[in-house]
Structure 1
Amino acid sequence: MNNAIVVENLRKEFKAYSSRSGLAGAFRDLFTRNYKIVPAVNDISFTVKKGEMVGYIGENGAGKSTTIKMLTGILTPTSGAVEVNGMNPHKEREKFVNTIGVVFGQRSQLWWDIAVQESFRLLKKVYKVSDEQYDEHMSHVIETLEIGPLLDKPVRKLSLGQRMRCELAAALIHNPPLLFLDEPTIGLDVLVKLKIRQFLKEINEKFNTTILLTTHDLSDIEALCDRVVMLDEGQIIYDGALNQLKQSWGDKKEVEFQFLEQIDEEELVFLTQNLEAVWDIDRRLHKYIATVDANDQKISELIASVVSRFKIKDIKIQETSTEEIIRNIYEKGFV
C-alpha cells in the first residue's frame, strides 16, 4: 500500500448553542435551548502518499485542526472513512498511536516541572522503545536539533524556541513513519524555524517520513512542501502542486524602480498607462513599484518606457508571494 493517509467523505459536525435575543429570549433560554448543527469539516476526500510532505492550509476556522484531530484519533468523525497507516485511528487506538508522531504548537506533550530528559524517558517507556533503539535514533535527533544542553532543564525554564525543538524530538522518540505538525513554528524566531525546517527535510529524506504540516506561516510550506491542500469553510478548494497554484494565480509581477534624481510622477504614470501598470509610490524611501501582468513582453515594455525617460539607479523584479496568492484566493474565491 503506497498511501499513508486515505480520507473519504470525511465529515465532523458540532452542536452549537444559539441564544435568543432580548430579555424574553434569555428567559426562554433558561427552559429550552436552541441548537444548530455546524459542520466543521464537510465531506472532504484526499490521500497522502508515503514519504510525501503536504501542506494543509486554510484560514482560522477552516477545519484544519479538526481534520488533524480526526486523523490522529482524538475526535471521532460524524461520517466518512479514515485510514491512516493502514488502520482506523479510532478502532485500533493503541496499535495506531505507535505509528504516528504529533506536534501541536500550542499544546505540550512534555511534563512541565521535570527535566526534558525525564520526559523523554517516560515517553520511551510509553512507546516501548528499547535502550538500543533509543540511543541509536535519539542521539542523532538531539544533536541535529541542538538540544543536548537543554536535557537536564525543566520544561518550564525553556524559551518557546527551545521547547518546540524538544517537542519535535519527543514526537520522534519511536521514529514514527508519519508525523502530524500543527503550527510547529508558531512564535519562533527565524533561526529556530530554519533549524526545524532543515531537520524535517533530513528525516523525510533519511527515513521517508510522511509529514502533514498545518501552518499559517506560508514560508514553512514553501520551504518544505511541493503539494498543498487548501481548506475553506470545511471544504477542500484546492489539492495540487504549489507551483501550479503559483502559475495559476501568480498572474502579476512587481517591478521596483529607484531613480538617480527627482522625477515627475505624473509623467511616469502617463508613460506606462497603456500597459495597465498600477503604481505604488513611497516618496520617503524613494521607491516606485509598478504592478503589471506577469507577461515578459509587458514587463520589457514597462522597463524600456521608464529607462528611456528617466535615469535609473536600480531595478528589481519580484513575483507575487505565496501569501499574496492565498489571500487573493480567499478574498476573490477560487475559480
Structure 2
Amino acid sequence: MIIEVSGLRKDFTVTTKVGRLRRERTVVSAVDGVDLVVGRGELIGYIGPNGAGKSTTLKVLTGVLTPSAGRVRVCGLDPVADRTTLARRIGVVFGQRSQLWWDLPLGESFELLRHIYRVPAAEHAARLRTCSDLLDLDGFTRTPVRQLSLGQRMRGELTAALLHGPEVLFLDEPTIGLDVLSKQAVRGFLAELDRRGDTTVVLTTHDLADIEKLCERLVVIDHGRVVHDGTLDALHTRHGSRRTIVADLDAPWPAGQTVPGAAVTAVEADGTRVTLTLDGRAAGEVVAALARIVPLRDLSVQEPDIEDVVARIYRG
C-alpha cells in the first residue's frame, strides 16, 4: 500500500478570552481517529465540510504537521521523520498556494524545479512534453507566472508537481475558481493520469462534479472522523438515494395505476407526465413495464444528486 494511516489524531490548542484578564485553553481534535489505506495507482476523493479535517489530514500525510497520535506511512516512510526523502517522492498542489516563481516565465520555473529535484534532463523533457500535450501549455510557457490566468497557472502547478515523477500526488482544491474550460482541462488530465496508473492521487474538493467525473472511491470526513469510505453507488445506497424515470405520455396516467412487477418505490403523476422512483435496480425492466401500460412520448433517467446526499451527511 502506498498510504497507510491508522488511528490518526491531530490536536490543536485554542486559546479563548474569558473575562477581562483570563485566557482559557481548549484542546480541539481536527482529525480524530482516521484510518485510511490507499493502494498504488488509486485516485480517491477525500471530501468534507469546512473544518472537517481534510486539509489537516493532507498536511500530516505530507509531513507539514506532526500527528498527535496514530501511525502514518506514505511510500513506506514516516512523513515527519523522513520529510526530505518523502518530498522527492510526492507532489503537492494546494489551490491557494503556488510553487512557481511569480516573476519568471513558466518554462523557467519548470527548469529550476528540475535542478531542485535533480531530475535528469531527458526524463524532465519527456515528462514536460507529456504534460504540455495533455494540458496545452505551449502557448504560455514563456509568459511570466504573474501574467497567467488562474486556469493557466493551475495547469502550470499540476505540471510542476509531476515533473520529478512522484509516486503520490496530493491535490487540495485544484479546480477552485476555474472557468468551465479550465476545469475540463484539469479533469481530463487527471483522468488520463488515473488511466495510466503510475501515480496515486488524493483529491480534496468542494466541487462534487470533480468527484463524480474522476473518483471511483470516495472518503467522506466530518468532525475529524471518516463517515464513509467506498464507492459513490454505496454512498447513494446507504443514504437512500434513488434514480428516477421521468416519462411524458400520449395520454394521462390512469388514476391509481401501479407498475406491476417493476422495481418502483413511488409513482407521481401530473397529467401526461409521470415520475417513477426506482429501488436501485436497472431501469430497463421499469421502462419495459411502463411501455406496456401507456404509450410513451419521451423519457429520461435521472441519476441521484450527489450534492444532496453529501449535504444530508454534513447536516447530520
Question: What runs of 5+ residues in structure 2 fail to find an aligned partner?
Answer: none
Quote how far apart the aligned CAs of 1:66 are.
Answer: 0.5
Choose from 11, 14, 22 the match for 1:16.
Answer: 14
> Match of 1:8, as an amino acid?
S
Choose from 176, 179, 182 the match for 2:169.
Answer: 179
User: Could you tell me which residue of structure 2 aligns to residue 5 of structure 1?
Assistant: 3
* Number of residue pairs aligned between Structure 1 and Structure 2: 310
TM-score normalised to structure 2 length = 0.86
Residues 226-265 of structure 1: per-residue CA shift (max 9 Å, x gap): 211110110011112233223333542333344679x8xx
User: Could you tell me which residue of structure 2 aligns to residue 320 of structure 1?
Assistant: 304
Task: Give the Cα–Cα distance (whole angstroms) in 2 for the partners of residues 314 and 217 of structure 1.
Answer: 31
Q: Report if aligned partners of 2:243, 2:301 keep a CA contact under 8 Å in 1.
A: yes
Quote how far apart the aligned CAs of 1:327 are.
Answer: 2.3
Structure 1's 292 and 211: CA in aligned 2 closer, same or farther, altered over 3 A?
Answer: same
Choose from 130, 146, 164 the match for 1:140.
Answer: 130
> Match of 1:18, as an amino acid?
T
User: Could you tell me which residue of structure 2 aligns to residue 191 of structure 1?
Assistant: 181
Deviates more, 1:66-75 or 1:142-151: 142-151
Deviates more, 1:11-20 or 1:167-176: 11-20
> Percent identity between the aligned chains?
42
User: Could you tell me which residue of structure 1 aligns to residue 114 of structure 2?
Assistant: 124
Q: Is residue 63 from structure 1 mapped to residue 53 from structure 2 by the alignment? A: yes
Q: Report if aligned partners of 2:237, 2:280 keep a CA contact under 8 Å in 1.
A: no
Q: Report if aligned partners of 2:90, 2:167 keep a CA contact under 8 Å in 1.
A: yes
SS at match of 1:252: coil
Q: Report if aligned partners of 2:41, 2:198 keep a CA contact under 8 Å in 1.
A: yes
Deviates more, 1:202-211 or 1:83-92: 202-211
Q: Is residue 204 from structure 1 mapped to residue 207 from structure 2 by the alignment? A: no
Q: Report if aligned partners of 1:256, 1:288 keep a CA contact under 8 Å in 2.
A: yes
CA RMSD, 1 decimal: 3.0
Residues 254-309 of structure 1: per-residue CA shift (max 9 Å, x gap): 33344679x8xxxx79647998748698xxxx99673634366995699579x75x
SS at match of 1:19: strand
SS at match of 2:213: helix
Question: What runs of 5+ residues in structure 1 fail to find an aligned partner?
Answer: none
Structure having the higher helix fraction is 1
Q: Report if aligned partners of 1:250, 1:320 keep a CA contact under 8 Å in 2.
A: no
User: Could you tell me which residue of structure 1 aligns to residue 277 of structure 2?
Assistant: 292
Task: Give the Cα–Cα distance (whole angstroms) in 2 for the partners of residues 301 and 178 of structure 1.
Answer: 47
Structure 1's 168 and 260: CA in aligned 2 closer, same or farther, altered over 3 A?
Answer: same
Structure 1's 136 and 313: CA in aligned 2 closer, same or farther, altered over 3 A?
Answer: same
Residues 72-115 of structure 1: per-residue CA shift (max 9 Å, x gap): 01111111111101111111111110000001112111122221
